[in-house]
Amino acid sequence: MIEILGNLGLGFVHVLAPANVTALLIGLVVGMLVAILPGLTLVMGVVLVLPFTYGMALLPSIIMLTAMYVSGTYGGAFTSILFRIPGEPLDVPLLWDGYTMGRKGAPAKALGWTLYAALWGGLLTATAMVLLAHPFARFALTFDAPEYFSVILFGLTSVVALAGTSMTNALISLFVGLLLSTVGVDEIYGVQRFTFGVPVLADGIKYVTIMVGAYGLGEVLGRLEQGFQSRPVKRSADGIKTELPTLSEVWKVRSAFARSSLIGVLLGIVPGAGATITSFVSYGAERQYGKRKALLGTGIPEGIVAPQIASTASVGGHMVPLLTLGIPGSGATAIILGAFLLHGVQPGPQLFTDPKSAALVYAIFASLFLSVLGMCAMGYFWIRSLVKVMDAPEAVVSAFVVLFCVIGAFSERNNLYDVWMIVIFGIVGYLFDRFRFPIAPLVLGAILGPEAETSFTTSMISHRNDWAGAFFGRPISCVLMILTIAALGFPLIRHVLRLGRAWRAG
């Protein structure tokens, strides 16, 4: 424990270097802006910033992206409460009680509850991250190829099982992603696969182009299809201040604080349960178990703190499997993993054993604490200025997004091929969205595909093609495989039971 605290202290010293503080501030501001603007999603924003990190050192890059991620879970609360415009899907639950409280004449108080919730959720998640990461990493050090394959498979299947869409479509999206990762020269045999004689395909398809295309351009095309909001939102936040609740008021909703904190951190660790999901689940839990569940939706504090705490608390939860196992659990953490890989660093338990990289990890932990404090200060003092970005028409913002995508892709290798790939995956992303195939499994499949294939092939070779022995004959791997089967089986069983009930009811 003393060692952890000492490392964390050193982490704070690293973060306070001017370059890192600047990256943190930029990340906080951009994250807030992205969350406020209805045409931009948080993941899209993180993707657009990724190309700017090519020339930066690893630590400020990760600090910037993490700060964006955490402040993105908070920024949209303002537009939801004040204007009934959720900047992100994760802010939708805030409409029910946050906006209602505002309409009842207490918007400042609603903002105060949000600030407390974000602060509590953020600090809690940062603490949980520090405490959980080491045991996780120590456990992961015992992993061999079969365990790695099983944990990746579990991560990917839980993304599919939790998908807010048809599970078959999510599986198709995942398999397409895994298949894309096989394009190019195979690492073990050196054989060209699916290159169609095109020399550039021998290098494989870069997952960055898939991410930027599908999340960036694809989403712009999707919004274009729905018709951009061409007129700016003419609403004013002038005169609105944040009014903090008193400690006795906070004490009255302590059970909501405790419940949503637990849901946020625990669901955050499960791959696939992003901030949106935790926010909805936490509100749902409040509706089911809250002391004042009958009053939810009428503008009570529990309806504000539950989704806000859970969505902010999920950030640290997501960072734990990313840093200790190299497995991203959400779109935003997939991009942060991309930033690590672009700098030649593979996240995993080894990060914690090497003193140099351990310093990096603790600096990231420290930056999360500072990000939470920074975003709350920003929300308290600057929010009236920040919400002014809503005056920008969506058509203009989207045109900028596309240009960012194009230049971002071009600037990595000064090669138009990468830009064409982005356009192709932009169209793929748009079509996926149109036919209700989720994007996250595609991207995660493309990123984790090579690691999954290598660990699968190595396991099969070392176990002489005995797959049962490799994956079910080792305790950790066996448990993970059973969890994988359960993750896939649960929605299926639920579906069959529903059909049975419908059939019995005639």
Partner 1 sequence: MPVLLKLRRIAPYAIILALSGYLYDLALHFDYQKVPGRIGPDAWPRIILVLLMAICAYQVLRLALQRKTGEVEGVLQSLEEEAAPSLVHPETEHPWLAWAGIALTFGYLLAFERVGFFSASFVYLFLLMLVGGYRRVLTALGIALAASLAFMFVFMKIVYVSLPLGRGPFLDVSIGVMKVLGIH
Residues 249-308 that bind partner 1 (CB under 8 A): 276-277, 280-281, 284
Q: Which is nearer to partner 1, 221 or 368 (CB)?
A: 221
* Residue given tokens 């649960």 in the structure block: 490
Q: Report which of 376, 111, 387, 375 is spatially closest to residue 233, judged by C-alpha positions.
A: 387
Site for partner 1 in 95-124 (CB under 8 A): none
- Residues 418/409, Cβ–Cβ less than 8 Å: yes
Q: 452's torsion region: left (phi>0), alpha (psi -120 to 50) or beta?
A: alpha
Q: Is 25 in the site for partner 1 (CB under 8 A)?
A: no
Q: Which is nearer to partner 1, 4 or 89 (CB)?
A: 89
- Nearest approach, Cβ of residue 230 and partner 1 (Å): 4
The rounded distance, in Å, linking the Cα atoms of 352 and 337 is 16
Q: Residue count at the site for partner 1 (CB under 8 A)?
A: 84
Q: Which is nearer to partner 1, 258 or 492 (CB)?
A: 492
Q: Report which of 215, 173, 206 is spatially closest to residue 430, judged by C-alpha positions.
A: 215
Binding segment for partner 1 among 102-110, 239-247, 355-363, 421-429 (CB under 8 A)? 421-429
Using DSSP's 3-state secondary structure scheme, residue 184 falls into strand
By CB under 8 A, name the one of 403, 468, 485, 497 that touches partner 1.
Answer: 403
Residue 372 burial by Cβ neighbours in a 10 Å radius (0-12, 13-18, 19+): buried
Burial code (b: 16+ CB inside 10 Å, e: under 16) for 267-294 equals bbbbbbbbbbbbbbbbbebbbeebeeee
Q: State how far the alpha carbon of 187 is from the alpha carbons of 108, 190, 206, in Å.
A: 57, 6, 15
Q: Is 179 in the site for partner 1 (CB under 8 A)?
A: yes
Strand 184-185 relative to strand 192-193, pairing: antiparallel
The rounded distance, in Å, linking the Cα atoms of 257 and 323 is 27
Q: Is 227 in the site for partner 1 (CB under 8 A)?
A: yes
Q: Which is nearer to partner 1, 12 or 175 (CB)?
A: 175
Residue 155 burial by Cβ neighbours in a 10 Å radius (0-12, 13-18, 19+): buried
Q: Is 81 in the site for partner 1 (CB under 8 A)?
A: no
- Residues 346/48, Cβ–Cβ less than 8 Å: no
Q: Which is nearer to partner 1, 225 or 354 (CB)?
A: 225
By CB under 8 A, name the one of 10, 131, 176, 233 that touches partner 1.
Answer: 176
By CB under 8 A, name the one of 13, 198, 295, 407 that touches partner 1.
Answer: 407
By CB under 8 A, name the one of 135, 164, 473, 500 that touches partner 1.
Answer: 164
Q: Is 491 in the site for partner 1 (CB under 8 A)?
A: yes
Site for partner 1 in 194-213 (CB under 8 A): 194
Q: Which is nearer to partner 1, 5 or 403 (CB)?
A: 403
Q: Which is nearer to partner 1, 150 or 276 (CB)?
A: 276
By CB under 8 A, name the one of 189, 344, 475, 501 that touches partner 1.
Answer: 189
Q: Which is nearer to partner 1, 323 or 405 (CB)?
A: 405
